[in-house]
Chains A and B, each alone.
Chain A
Amino acid sequence: MNKVKLLFFATIRDRAGMKSLEIEIPETMTVQELKDKISTDYPNLKQSMESVLISVNKEYAFDEAVLPPNAEVALFPPVSGG
């Protein structure tokens, strides 16, 4: 098993009702598989997973990327700074 720390921001944090969460995942899991798992385990977040941006260890990550051990994974909507 592998462990990842999830961080939620903005709309996604509001819908999740929490800022962060540690979860156990299989040894090999892609970003897409993680999104699928979150959609299943947290129905509140299912809709958010369709347009979510994901970073892994502070770099943008895409569906095919494999999560490294103990990754810090952030989930958030398109950014709106300025």
Chain B
Amino acid sequence: MASLPTIFSITESELDLNDLLAQITLPSTGAAAIFTGMVRGETLRHGSAQAPRDGPHETAYLEYEAYVPMAEAKMKQVADEIRAKWPSVEGIAIVQRIGKLYPRTPTVLIACTAAHRDTGVFEAARYGIDRLKEIVPIWKKEFGPNGEFWVEGEYIPKPGE
């Protein structure tokens, strides 16, 4: 177990998806599930009370920040949770880019590798992004034609998280 590759980091650099995938690919892995999220230039959903919006609105860019040492510790915790739930997952990469990020730019990557696709890798990657959005201390501020506002999450961590 100890030799299985686990990558977790906060970075200001461009995400190199190929390089990250290569780092969690082993002779024994024949499948990878990769989730990446990117900045949207236009959003159809309605906003929150904090930032009321009517229909589509435009985003010029997002500015991400993180409490880096805690964020990396919580990413490690998410990776540990994935390994506990899906023991057949081999490599795990969890990387969040921070700073000023423009539409179409990848902001986050969660990837899991395993021997083959029927091992839970899809669910593991899904779990990874869901947990990152719950417990990893990262925030983003949206900048657009109507000003700027913080995007706030909803999840309240429980003791032990």
B139 and A9 form a contact (CB under 8 A): yes
Which of B64, B70, B150, B153 counts the most A-chain CB atoms under 10 A from its CB? B70
A58 and B69 form a contact (CB under 8 A): yes
Interface majority SS (helix, strand, loop, mixed), chain B: mixed
A77 and B150 form a contact (CB under 8 A): yes
**What is the interface size of chain B, counting residues whose CB is below 8 A from a CB of the partner?**
33
B135 and A79 form a contact (CB under 8 A): yes
Contacts of B136 in A (CB 8 A): 79, 81
Contacts of A79 in B (CB 8 A): 133-139, 153, 155
**What is the interface size of chain A, counting residues whose CB is below 8 A from a CB of the partner?**
18
Query: Does B73 sit at the interface, judged by CB under 8 A?
Result: yes
A80 in contact with B133 given A9-B65, A10-B139, A60-B157 (CB within 8 Å): yes
A82 in contact with B133 given A9-B139, A60-B161, A74-B67 (CB within 8 Å): yes
A77 and B152 form a contact (CB under 8 A): yes
A78 and B153 form a contact (CB under 8 A): yes
Contacts of B96 in A (CB 8 A): 81-82
B66 and A81 form a contact (CB under 8 A): yes
Closest Cβ of chain B to A57, distance in Å, is: 9
Q: How far is the CA of A3 from the CA of B156 in the complex (A)?
A: 27
Contacts of A77 in B (CB 8 A): 139, 150, 152-153
A10 and B156 form a contact (CB under 8 A): no
B156 and A78 form a contact (CB under 8 A): yes
Mask of A51-82 contacts with B, CB within 8 angstroms, 1/0? 00101001010100000000000101111111
Binding site for A on B (CB under 8 A): 37, 64-67, 69-71, 73, 96, 107-108, 129, 132-141, 150-157, 159, 161
A-B contacts besides A58-B67, A77-B153, 7 pairs, CB < 8 Å: A9-B137, A60-B161, A79-B134, A80-B150, A81-B71, A81-B132, A81-B139
Binding site for B on A (CB under 8 A): 7, 9-11, 14, 53, 55, 58, 60, 62, 74, 76-82
